[in-house]
Amino acid sequence: MADITSATSAPNAGLSFLGQYSGITTDVVDQLIEAESGGKTLLQNKVTKYNQEKSAWSEISSALSNFQTKLKALQNNDSYYSKIAKSSNEDLATISGNSDAKNGGDFELLVSQLAKQTKLTGSQVSAAETNSTDLNLNGKLTFAYQGEKTDDSPETVDIDITEKDSLLDIADKINKESKNIGVSAVVINKRLVLTNNKSGAKETTLDQTKNTATLAALGLNTSADLGQAAKYSLDGIDMESDSNVISDAIDGATVTLKKEIKPEDAVTLSLKNDDSKTVKAATDFVTQYNNLMSLIKSNLDVGNPSASTAESSSTNVQGKLVGDSTLQRLQSSLRNMITQADKDNGASLSPFDMGFSVDKDGVLSLDEDKFKSQLADSPEKVHDFFYVQGEDSFDESTDTGYTAKLNNLVNEFISNDATKKGIITNKSDSIDKMVKDLNSQIDDFTARLADKREQYIAQFTQLDSIMMQADSQMQYMQSQLGVDQQ
């Protein structure tokens, strides 16, 4: 009888032997495994769907974050009270304004006298061959204390001078104490020159009644050239200032005097509200709102159900979050809030008054002329319509205004605070957990299919072996019968 054990003796011999008698090859085994893989495919489709949902929520979170940035811009004072400051001649004087400045219009400026600092110019020091020569002088200079006043503040500050000090060394020592003594020093042609840090008709802080020998040796026993205040007029109102940089003449504005200005050279200073920043903040808000709502709509789109009928060759394409009640609630809340003022802050204006309107398709638009008219009438009212800060500056939920209620809604969805996670963060965490569980099930299913495939190969290989033995025995019997017949 023929030896059949050699068919399965080599590694992987079962695979090469499979199907030689039964006709059941590895292709047939693969088809059987594929038929049993339906459950795995369903699990994989669920993973794909969840990942698509997570991606969609991530896009919505980014859009909400961008929308919140535009809301914050409408809450910022700089968007309402920025100023356009102009001078008819910036070589003579300039003007600038901060968010506290009022819309003051034009001012006529004349300057009869610029402010200057008190200056004490010492006589030339004979002991100094150069500015850096050691003076062989021991002594001190006493200055009145000009620093920050506290209970421990000294009345005076002494500058000690040693024999190794040169004029430059002494100037350095004075300058190191400049903030405390109100004086700065330079050396010019072997002379010490002391200048008050602040302008105005103020005496030098150097005490010339003490250390007279040291003062004489350094040439500082001379009289100081007394400083003076600036004298100017705004719209005919005469004023004085110890500084040429004047911040107390016009609320929220700073005027810098550069030269004397005669009546025939009168400078016109203007300070007006910069409405362009406010209008841009409002139009950016409208654009981002529409982008957000368009994204939400596309994710909730049911598509065209008739596209998937038996008569149609196309497939219906739906949004990634179609039917999601959470996203539908966000869409509905935004639609309602965008057309309503916040009644809690007592604002006298409505979105319609501000120029906001929504068409039949839900698209928000802004009538800029109407908006600018409200700004011209009262920037304060416009600001309060959009935002009023609550009593607790660290708790945004206490804020009121049109943007505040929208901001609270956005925070409800995208907040990532450790104590209170937003809806999207929680959804993302939940999806991650479900995907992790599904992947674990897929791994188990894959392992079971691999085991099943090995079982099929073993069974069908055994079947081929049995059929081979039967065939061999048949051939043997036929050969024996043939011999007997001869």
pLDDT for the residue 1: 36
Distance CA 41, CA 62 (A): 32
Residue 419: CB atoms within 10 Å = 5
Instruction: Provide, rounded to the nearest whole percent, the portion of the chain with pLDDT above 90.
Output: 51
Q: Position of tokens 């695979």?
A: 15
More confident residue, 346 or 182: 182
**Mean pLDDT value across residues 261-283:** 91
In three-state secondary structure terms, 374 is helix
The predicted-structure confidence for 184-220, as pLDDT tens digits, reads as follows: 999 999 999 999 999 999 999 999 999 999 999 999 9
Closest CA to 20 of 7, 1, 38: 7
114 Cβ contact list (under 8 Å, min separation 6): 230, 244, 257, 259, 260
pLDDT at residue 74 is higher than 80: yes
Q: Is the dihedral of CA 54, 59, 60, 61 positive or negative?
A: positive
pLDDT for the residue 447: 80
Tokens of 334: 């935004």
Sheet holding 105-113, edge to edge: 83-87, 267-273, 105-113, 230-234, 237-241
The backbone torsions φ and ψ at residue 472, rounded to the nearest 5 degrees and listed phi first, read -65, -45
Closest CA to 59 of 299, 290, 289: 299
What does pLDDT average to over the chain? Answer: 85
pLDDT for the residue 136: 93
- Which of the four pLDDT bands, split at 50, 70 and 90, describes residue 484? very low
Going along 19-104, which residue ranges are E strands? Answer: 83-87, 93-97
- Which of the four pLDDT bands, split at 50, 70 and 90, describes residue 61? very high
**Mean pLDDT value across residues 234-257:** 92
Distance CA 274, CA 278 (A): 8
Residue 475: CB atoms within 10 Å = 12
The predicted-structure confidence for 442-474, as pLDDT tens digits, reads as follows: 888 788 778 777 787 777 777 777 777 777 777
Sheet holding 192-199, edge to edge: 117-121, 192-199, 183-187
Q: Position of tokens 């200032």?
A: 241
Identity of the residue numbered 229: A
Distance CA 392, CA 5 (A): 88
Tokens of 128: 């100094």
Distance CA 416, CA 423 (A): 9
Q: Is the dihedral of CA 18, 21, 27, 29 positive or negative?
A: negative
CA 42 to chain centre: 42
Distance CA 417, CA 396 (A): 13
The predicted-structure confidence for 34-45, as pLDDT tens digits, reads as follows: 777 677 778 788
| Helices and strands (DSSP H and E) totals, the chain | 14, 15
Per the CB < 8 A criterion, the answer to whether 348 and 251 are in contact is: no
The structural domains of the chain, with segments of one domain joined by +, span 5-35+426-485, 42-78+276-414, 83-114+230-273, 117-217
Closest CA to 167 of 195, 186, 180: 186
Tokens of 158: 């002494």
Question: What CATH number is given for 117-217 in this structure?
Answer: 2.60.40
Identity of the residue numbered 422: G
Q: Position of tokens 């200005």?
A: 261
pLDDT for the residue 241: 95
